C-alpha cells in the first residue's frame, strides 16, 4: 500500500477485517496458532456478514488501540471456560462440525 492510499479508501468493515488479520499474524508469531486462526476466520466471516459481523456491530470504528480483536477473543475464552459457549460450533481443523 504505497503511501497508505489504499487504507484511506478502506471502509470501517474492511479496516476492522484488516486489523483482525493483523492481530492474528501477531498471535501466530509467538506460538498461538489457535488465536491466529480464529482471528483470520473472524475477518473472513466479518466480510461475509456472518456471526462475527453481529458480534462486532457497533465497534467497527473503534480505535486501533482498543484491542478489539483481543477483547473479542477474551470474551470467547471466558464463555468457553464458563461452559456457556457451545464448543462444538467452533472450527476444528479448519472445518465446522
- 36-79 residue pLDDT tens: 999 999 999 999 999 899 989 999 999 878 899 989 888 888 88
Q: Is 21 within the bounds of a domain?
A: yes
Pairwise CA distance, residues 22 & 37, whole Å: 11
Whole-structure pTM value: 0.75
Secondary structure (3-state) at 46:
helix
Tell me which residue of 84, 1, 69 sits closest to 35, measured CA to CA.
69
Residue with cell 462475527: 52
Pairwise CA distance, residues 81 & 91, whole Å: 17
Q: Is 27 within the bounds of a domain?
A: yes
pLDDT the model gives residue 94: 44
Give phi and psi for 93, each to the nearest 5.
60, 30
Q: Is 97 within the bounds of a domain?
A: no
Asked whether the predicted pLDDT for residue 17 surpasses 90, the reply is: yes
Number of structural domains in the chain = 1
Q: Is 30 within the bounds of a domain?
A: yes
Q: Is 94 within the bounds of a domain?
A: no
Q: Is 69 within the bounds of a domain?
A: yes
CA dihedral 2, 4, 25, 84 (to 10 degrees): -150
Q: Is 3 within the bounds of a domain?
A: no
Q: Is 81 within the bounds of a domain?
A: yes
Could you tell me the residue range of the domain that residue 35 belongs to? 10-89
Amino acid at each position: 500500500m504505497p503511501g497508505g492510499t489504499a487504507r484511506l479508501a478502506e471502509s470501517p468493515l474492511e479496516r476492522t477485517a484488516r486489523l483482525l488479520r493483523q492481530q492474528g499474524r501477531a498471535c501466530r508469531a509467538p506460538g498461538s496458532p489457535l488465536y491466529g486462526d480464529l482471528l483470520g476466520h473472524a475477518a473472513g466471516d466479518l466480510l461475509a456478514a456472518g456471526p462475527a459481523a453481529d458480534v462486532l456491530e457497533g465497534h467497527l470504528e473503534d480505535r486501533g488501540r482498543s484491542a478489539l480483536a483481543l477483547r473479542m477473543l477474551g470474551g470467547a475464552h471466558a464463555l468457553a471456560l464458563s461452559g456457556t459457549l457451545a464448543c462444538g460450533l467452533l472450527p476444528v481443523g479448519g472445518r465446522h462440525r
